[in-house]
Amino acid sequence: MLRVGLIGCGAIGTTLAKAIKKEIKDIELIAAFDTEGKKVKEFLKRFKGVSTTDSFDVFMSNEFDLVVEAASQKAVAAYGENILAKTNLMIMSTGSLLDNELFSNLVHVAQENKRKIHLPSGAICGIDGIKAAKLRKIFSATLTTTKPAKTLNVKTKTKKTIFFGTAEKAVKLFPQSVNVAATLSLVSLGGKKTRVKVVADPNAKQNMHEIHVKGEFGEIYTRTKNFPFKENPKTSYLAALSAIRMLKNITEGLDIGT
């Protein structure tokens, strides 16, 4: 039985907790942590028997095989190294990893303690192919993200490009919206060379991510249209499903894909 701890008791964390309880065999959610007392109380009501706290030290007093981060980039920076010193870590807020110093520190701690960092593919597809392509030279990697204007807090009557630049800058300006940019950059050209365009569309009903990668292997183009998460429209529902799938991969005997 895989003993799991959860950081983040919001919409994504609650969805993962439901899946662990109902869908995933051989996993036990033993504890959850969130700094917001209100979220802790709501989580306790829904998941009786799960030790839930607003104290990181109390949370880490449990024995885990894996901790799942479903909170924020700040949470990864604040707690990641301490977690990896003790157990394995799944990171959903991948935008945090474009901080080169933090990324280097996390990898160092993981290697030193023989731990594993798991990164779900999130709200995009094609990551397996791009990982393989990186074994040879990649020439260019671009992500175009189009979202409903209201979820980006943009008032416009027509489709409008509100950002075009590096993935590194994108994740700082849109920390809750373009973790996919970080994921793509980590498997392709890095935060400084991966290009990102963010488009606000007042008529959009879904979050759309288009990836275009060229390299020695040839060319990859993918388009993913995701429904927003009802409880948190800035996030795609597929991001949560991706994490659930990764948890299943960890516990099942068969793992398909690169």
- Residues carrying an active site annotation: 209
Exposure of 96 in the CB half-sphere (CA atoms within 13 A): 24
Calculated CA dihedral for residues 70, 72, 77, 80, nearest 10 degrees? 0
Does residue 176 contact residue 234 with C-beta atoms inside 8 Å?
yes
Question: Which residue has tokens 């008529």?
Answer: 203
What is the chain's length?
258
Q: Which two tokens stand for residue 179?
A: 């973790």
Burial of residue 22, with CB atoms counted within 10 A of its CB: 0-12 exposed, 13-18 middle, 19 or more buried: exposed
